Chain A
Amino acid sequence: MAYQLYRNTTLGNSLQESLDELIQTQQITPQLALQVLLQFDKAINTALANRVRNRVNFKGSLNTYRFCDNVWTFVLNDVEFREVTDLVKVDKVKIVACDGKNTGNAAE
C-alpha cells in the first residue's frame, strides 16, 4: 500500500490540477486519472524511501501527539530545525508520520 499523503505537495497538487483539466476537457476519463494518481503515490513513496538521505535535526516542545490508524501525528511548539548549515525557528509544526517499511513493500 502506497501512502497518499504526498498528493498534498506542490508536485502532487500540480499533477492533480493537470488531471482535472484533462478530465474537464474530456481528454481523459476519471478512471485513467485515478490510475495516474495511484501510480504517482507508488512512485513518490518509493523515491522518498530509497533516494533521499538528507538529514534535518529538530527539537521543540511536544504539545500533542496521537497514533491512529498507524499514523503518528505530533504537534510541536517552538521548534528549531537544524540542517548542516542552517537553523530555522518555527512557532508551530505538525508532523505526520507513517511507517516507511510498508512503502518499501509496496515498492517491490
Chain B
Amino acid sequence: METSGRIATTPDALDFTVENVEKGLHQLYYDPNIENKNLAQKWLMQAQVSPQAWQFCWALLSPDKVPEIQYFGASALHTKISRYWSDIPSDQYETLKTQLFSQIACFSSGSKMVLTRLCVALASLALNTMPEVWPGAVPEMVRVFQEEGGGVDGRARCLALLELLTVLPEEFQTSRMPQYRKGQVRGALGREWGSVCPLLQQLLRQGDSPGAVKSRVLRCLSSWVLLDVPLSESEGLVEDCFTALPDPELFDTAVEAIVNAISQPDSQRYVNTLLKLVPQVLSLQEQLREAVQNGDMETSHGICRIAVALGENHSRALLEQVEHWQGFLALVNMIMFCTGIPGHYPVNETTSSLTLTFWYTLQDDIMSFDCERQAVYLQVYRPVYFQLVDVLLHKAQFPSDQEYASWSSDEKEQFRIYRVDISDTLMYVYEMLGAELLSNLYEKLGRILTNTEQASSWQHTEALLYGFQSIAETIDVNYSDVIPGLIGLLLRININNVQLADTVMFTIGALAEWLADHPVMLSSVLPLVLQALGNPDLSISSVSTLKKICRECKYDLPPYASNIVAVSREVLSKQIHKTSQCMWLMQALGFLLSALHVEEILRNLHSLITPYIQQLEKLADETPNPSNKLAIIHILGLLSNLFTTLDISKQEDESGESTAPPVKTAPLPPGPNPVVVVLQQVFALIQTVLSKWLNDSQVVEAVCAIFEKSVKTLLHDFAPMVSQLSEMLGQMYSTIPQASALDLTRQMVHIFARETDHFPPIKALFDLVTSVTLSIFQQGPRDHPDIVDSFMQLQAQALKRKPDLFLSESLDVKAVFHCGLLSLKFPEAPTVKSTCLFFTELLPRCSDVPPVARVVQENGKLLLQAVLEAIGGGSSRSLMEQFAEVLFSLNKHCFPLLTVWLKEALQAQGFPSTRVTTEQKDTFTQQILRERVNKRRMKDIVKEFTLVCRGLHGTEYAAEYCL
C-alpha cells in the first residue's frame, strides 16, 4: 500500500502504466486513509484523460482482472471516445469499433456493469460517426450480435445487443454536441428506428422469449420513444406492452414504456393511434379493480399512471373526436375511479393525487372551445365535475379520531398538503360550475345538519365546509344567494372537534369580504369568533379570522368595538395566545379602532394599553435580566403592531366606493392624531426603558420599530414628534450605535428633510449620526456590516432627498467618501450594494454640491481603483451590475477625469487580475469610455470583463450563469 501511496505523490506519478493504474485502483477501493483515497482518485482521473489511457484501457479489460479494474478500463475508454474523439485518426475508427464489438461479446456473459460501460462507449462511437462515416450503425450492431460464435450463448448476446440499443438513445440525450450536429444525429437515429422496431417486436412476441429478455426489450422501447419516434410506428409495440401488463415481472417496465410513448409531445399528431389506445386502457379496469380490492398499491398506481397519461396529454385531441365521445367519457370515469380510490391518502393509498392535474387540463380544454361547442361539452361534463366535487370532498375527509391519532407527523403533513391540492382543484372547478356549486354544497350541508334521524359525522360536515372555504377564500361569492343560509347553518353546527372548529373559523374568515357587503350578518358570526378567541387550540384560526373581519368590515364594526376590545383585552391578559397571535390580534384592533371617532379611539386605546404601560413602568424599574427583556420586547411589539394598522387618515377616502389604493391626501380630522397623543404620553417611559437597555440591540430595535411603524402610517401627522424623536435617536445612537436607529433616521430624512420647519432637527440628527459612524470606521468597521449598510443607505437617501445636508460645514464629506471606499470591499453583498447606491447618488451631485465635487476630484481615482478591483475578482459576480452603475455614473459625471484615471489605474501590471492582457485592458477602457448613454451595454461590458479576469470567460459554466 505504501508503494501505491507513492504513485500519487512522487514526480514519476504521471507514469500512467497498467500496473500503476491497478495500484491506484487498489488504493481507491481499499486504502483506509481517506487522504490516500482522494489522492488516488485525483491521479486516476488524470490517468483516465491521459493519452496513455488508449493503451492501458484494453489491458485493464483482460478477463483475468477483477470487475473493478475492468470497469475502470471500460470507463476510461468511454471518456476518451466521448471527450477526446479528435485524438483518433479516422483510419483507426474501424479497428476501434471491431475491438469494442469483440469486448462487448466477451462481457456479454461477464460483469454487467462493465458490459454497460462498454456499450455506452460503443454508443458514443456510433454517435460520433453516424451518419456519414458509419451509416447503418444499428443494422450492423444487430447483425454482429446475431452471428453465432465466440462461444457465447444466444441469450447473452441478445441481452448485450438490447443493452447496447438501450444506451444508444440515452447517450444521445446526455451527450454534448453542437446544435447542428445534434439535429443531424437525431435524424439518423430516427431512421435507425426502422431496424430497431421489428427486432423488439419479434423478441416481445416470441412465446419462448425469457422474461429477462422481454423486460430488456421494454426498457429499450422506453429509451427509443423518448427520441420522438412517431407513435404510429411504435403503435404495435405499445399494444404488445399492454399484453405484457398482466405479467408481474414485466408490469413496471411495461407501464414505463407505455407512459413514455403516450407522453411524447409529438404523439398528439397520431389521433387514430390514440383512439385505438383508449379501449386498451379501458380494458385495464378489471385489473385495476382487482388490485384495489387486494390492496395492491403498485398495480393500481401503474394503471392509474397510464390512464392519466392518456387523459392528461391528449384530452383536447380526444375531446375533438366527437363520434368517439363515449370512449373518452369512459376514460374520464376510469380516472374518476382513480381519484376516488378507497382509503385515506397517504396511509392507504397514494394514487388519487396523480389525477388532480388531469381535471385542470380537461376543464381548460373544454372551456377553450367556442361557446357553441362548449355548451355541448358542458352538458356532458358538468355532471362529471359535480361528481368530482363529491369525490374530492370525500377524499378530503379526516379519518376517525383514533386513526388520525395513529398517523405520524409526516403523514399528517402529507395529508394537509393533499387537502390543499384538493382545495386548489375545487377553486378551479368553481370557474366551470359557478354559483351552482355553492348551492350544491349548501344543500348537502343543510341536509346533514338538519337530519334528526341520523347523526352525521363531524368529518363529513368539516369536508363540506372546507369545500366552501376553498372557494370563498379566493373567489368573490357576492352573487351567490346561499351565503346567508350558510351562516345560519354554521350556527347550528355542534362543534365538538378542534379540526371542525378550525374549519368553521377559517370559513368565516373566508367570508370577511362578503360580510363587508352584508354587515347585518356580523351580529351572527362575531359571537362565534369571540368565543373561539378564548380557546388556545383555535388560536391561529380565530385570531386570523378576527383580523380579516376587522380589516374588511371596520366601518360596520363600531357598534361591536367595545365588546371586541373587552374580549381581546381579556384573552391577552390571560396569555392564551402565543406571541405572534398576540401581534395579529393587536393589528386587528388597530383596524377596528381606525374607524372610530377620535375620542372613542383614545378611550379604547387607554383601556387597551394602560395595563401594558403599567407593566412596562414596573419592568423599567427592574434590573435588566433575560426574562424581563422578553416581556419588554413583547409589550413594545404589541404597541408597534397596534400602530401599524391604526390609521385614521383612511377614514375619508375608504368609506367611498373607490377600489383604488387609498391616497393619503384626505383632510384629516382636527386635533392631534390619537396615535401621536399616546406616543407622546409614553415617550418618557420609553426613554426610561431605553436608558437601561441601550446596549441591547433587540430592545433598541423594538423601540425603533414602534416609531418606524407609526411614521409609516402617520406620515406627516407624525410632525409634532419630529424634534423629540430626533433628539432621542441622536442620544441613542451616540451612546451605542445600532443599525435600527440609522434606518429610522433614514425614514425621517425621507419624509421630513424637505420641510423647512423640520429641517433643523433632521440636519442636527444627520450630522450627529454621521460623525458617530465615522468614528466607528476609525475603530474598524468590520464587526458592524449592518451599521455600515444602514449608514450607506442613509447617505444615499440624504443625497437623493436633500443634498443640502452635504453643504454643512460640520459634515466631513471626504471622510464619508473614504468610508464608502472601505465599505465597497466588504464581503457582505447587501452592504456593498448599498455602498454602490451611495456612490451612484453621490457622483451626480458633483455639479451642484461643491464639497462633493472637490472630494470626487481629489479622491475619485481611489474609487475607480476600488471598483476595478471588485470587477477584477474582488467582489461577488452577482454585484457586477451595481459596480457597472458606479462606472456608468463616473463616466457620465466625471468623464475627463475618468479618462485619465482609467489609463493610470490599468497601467499597473497584473491589475485588476493577472489573467487579463494589456490589450484586453485597452479594449475594456475604450468600451467603457464610449458608453455614456446605454446603461445595459455598460453592464454587459463589465460582466464580460469580469469573466476574463476570473478565468471564467468562454466556459460553459459562465454561459449558464443566469445573472
Contact = CB atoms under 8 A, between A and B. Distances in A.
B950 A23 contact: yes
Contacts of B950: 20, 23-24
Contacts of A31: 955-957
Interface residues of A, number: 27
B654 to A, nearest CB: 13
Nearest to B958: A30
Listed from nearest, the 9 A-B pairs whose CB atoms lie closest are: A30-B955, A30-B957, A34-B957, A53-B417, A53-B420, A7-B962, A17-B876, A33-B957, A13-B878
A108 to B, nearest CB: 10
A53 B416 contact: yes
Interface string A38-82: 100000000000000101010000000000000000000010000
Interface string A1-43: 0001101100001001101100110000011011001100000
Contact of B474 (A7, A19, A57, A89): A57
A5 B584 contact: no
A4 B540 CA distance: 36
B473 A57 contact: yes
Interface in B93-123: none
A106 interface: no
B952 A23 contact: yes
Contacts of A78: 660-661
B63 interface: no
B960 A34 contact: yes
Nearest to B420: A53
Given A57-B473, A89-B661, A84 B540 contact: yes
Nearest to B256: A108
Given A30-B952, A57-B473, A85-B584, A16 B540 contact: no
Interface in A78-106: 78, 84-85, 87, 89, 101, 105
10 contacts: A7-B961, A7-B963, A16-B878, A16-B963, A19-B957, A30-B957, A34-B960, A78-B660, A85-B580, A89-B661
Interface string B712-731: 00000000000000000000
B876 A53 contact: no
A59 B379 CA distance: 32
A54 to B, nearest CB: 8
B877 interface: yes
A8 B963 contact: yes
B653 interface: no
B873 interface: yes
Interface in B625-676: 660-661
Contacts of A5: 962
B951 interface: yes
Contact of A4 (B829, B876, B960): B960
A13 B950 CA distance: 17
Interface of B: 263, 357, 416-417, 420-421, 424, 473-474, 540, 544, 547, 551, 580, 584, 660-661, 829, 873, 876-878, 950-952, 955-958, 960-963
A67 B763 CA distance: 51
A87 B547 CA distance: 10
Contacts of A24: 873, 950-951
B956 A30 contact: yes
B467 to A, nearest CB: 16
Nearest to B661: A78
A78 B956 CA distance: 40
Contacts of A16: 877-878, 961, 963
A72 B584 CA distance: 35
Contacts of B873: 24
Given A13-B876, A20-B877, A31-B955, 12 more contacts: A8-B962, A13-B878, A16-B961, A17-B876, A34-B957, A34-B960, A37-B957, A37-B960, A38-B960, A53-B417, A53-B421, A55-B420
Nearest to B662: A89
Contacts, number: 67
Nearest to B915: A24
Main SS of the interface on chain B?
Answer: helix
Contacts of A105: 263
A13 B878 CA distance: 7
A102 B955 CA distance: 27
Contact of B547 (A23, A38, A85, A89): A85
Contacts of B955: 30-31, 34
Nearest to B357: A101
B228 to A, nearest CB: 15
Nearest to B473: A57
A40 B474 CA distance: 33
B890 to A, nearest CB: 25
Contacts of A13: 829, 876, 878, 963
A9 to B, nearest CB: 10
A7, A33, A84, A105, most chain B CB atoms within 10 A: A84
A89 B829 CA distance: 27
Contact of B878 (A17, A38, A55, A87): A17
A85 B585 CA distance: 10
Contacts of B661: 78, 89
B951 A23 contact: yes
A89 B952 CA distance: 41
B473 A87 contact: no
Contacts of B417: 53
A3 to B, nearest CB: 10
Contact of B551 (A8, A20, A23, A87): A87
Contacts of B829: 13
B46 to A, nearest CB: 12
Contacts of B957: 19, 23, 30-31, 33-34, 37
A1 to B, nearest CB: 11
Contact of B876 (A20, A23, A30): A20
Contacts of A23: 950-952, 957
A35 B406 CA distance: 43
Contacts of B580: 85
Nearest to A4: B962
Contacts of A7: 961-963
Contacts of A33: 957
Nearest to A58: B474
Contacts of B551: 87
A53 B544 CA distance: 19
Contacts of B960: 4, 34, 37-38
Contacts of B263: 105
A31 B952 CA distance: 11
A55 B422 CA distance: 13
Contact of A20 (B357, B544, B584, B952): B952
Contacts of B958: 30
Nearest to A6: B962
B780 to A, nearest CB: 24
Contacts of B584: 85
Given A23-B952, A24-B873, A78-B661, A85 B544 contact: yes
A1 B357 CA distance: 19
B440 to A, nearest CB: 23
Nearest to A87: B551
B694 to A, nearest CB: 31
Nearest to B474: A57
Nearest to B313: A101
A75 B950 CA distance: 36
Nearest to A12: B962
Nearest to B416: A53
Contacts of B544: 84-85
A7 to B, nearest CB: 5
Nearest to B962: A7
A29 to B, nearest CB: 9
Given A53-B416, A57-B474, A84-B544, A17 B877 contact: yes
A53 B547 CA distance: 23
A8 B567 CA distance: 47
A4 B473 CA distance: 32
A85 B357 CA distance: 28
B35 to A, nearest CB: 16
Contacts of B878: 13, 16-17
Contacts of A87: 551
